[in-house]
Chain A
Amino acid sequence: MKARFGITALVAALLFFAGYAALFIAPEESTMHEIQRVFYFHVALWSAMYTALTIAFVANIAWLATRQPRWDWLGVSAVEVGVVSCTGGLITGVLWGKPAWGIWWTWDARLTTAFLLWLLYIAYLLLRGLLEDPQRRATLSAVFGIFAFLDAPLVYASNRLWRTQHPAPVVFGGDNSGLDPVMGKVLMVCIFALLTVMILLLVDRYRLERMRHEVDELRLAVESGAARPNSAVTKGAI
């Protein structure tokens, strides 16, 4: 318990520091001024999301290959955390877009991919909710998860190809072209900080899933224990 509290405090402190760096240490950007600082959180959230979804993909394959429950637990946990990160990414994106470019949203390749991934993995979570048998739920959602992950680069490619044929405002294109070294360092700090937050959430969610499994096992043990004729008689219940 003590260790856990310490780690949480450390991660929170890291997040605070990242925020401080983004808001005060990073130099001001010439065209967008202050609002550009959202970029640090925005990019960090996307990298947290992609990391989480890649972990989920690996977990899905591992479940189908080995049938060890921990891969199923990791899979659903990683997807949930990925969806949470994606939500943050979409919110910060909208909050950046409006003041910086005057538009709430645009259908460029990266944004569209992110939005579609959000929808796909919410569908994954819905699917899990609607499948009752645990074995089947794990297997079928793993198959869907693999399909969803394979779809992501196709979504990006199709939007990229589409946008080169129908050019739209290139809103996020020039971010990393010649990034100021201090900005680069602040970005690394933010990415690292959000990655640790994501991993912390992932570990907790995994623990929750493992405990759910433990509850089911215990419930089974209780039921089979109660079914034994001895127990009730010895207790004098009958």
Chain B
Amino acid sequence: MTHFHFLFAAWMAVWAVFFVYEISVASRVARLREEIERLKQQVREG
């Protein structure tokens, strides 16, 4: 297979680009979910 490493790199790049972005968004969502719970608690008490 000619130029196999380029093809592989391109396929990996597609996954990497979307995966890294999704992880970054998902982790921020998780952190905010905790923050929202915490703040909701505070509002209930206050």
Contact = CB atoms under 8 A, between A and B. Distances in A.
Interface string B5-45: 01101110111011001100110110011011001101101
B18 A38 contact: no
B11 A219 contact: no
A34 B3 contact: yes
Contacts of A42: 10
B6 A96 contact: yes
A205 interface: yes
Main secondary structure of the interface of B (DSSP, over half): helix
Contacts of B25: 201, 204-205, 208
* A interface residue count range (under 10 / 10 to 19 / 20 to 34 / 35 or more): 35 or more
B6 A95 contact: yes
Interface residues of B, number: 30
Contact of A211 (B22, B36, B43): B36
A212 interface: yes
A34 B4 contact: yes
A23 B29 contact: no
Given A34-B1, A212-B32, A23 B11 contact: yes
Contact of B14 (A92, A204, A214, A221): A92
Interface in A52-106: 80-81, 84-85, 87-88, 91-92, 95-96, 98-100
24 contacts: A15-B15, A33-B1, A33-B3, A35-B3, A35-B6, A38-B7, A84-B18, A88-B13, A91-B10, A92-B14, A95-B9, A96-B6, A200-B22, A204-B22, A204-B26, A204-B29, A208-B32, A211-B29, A211-B33, A211-B36, A219-B39, A222-B42, A225-B46, A231-B46
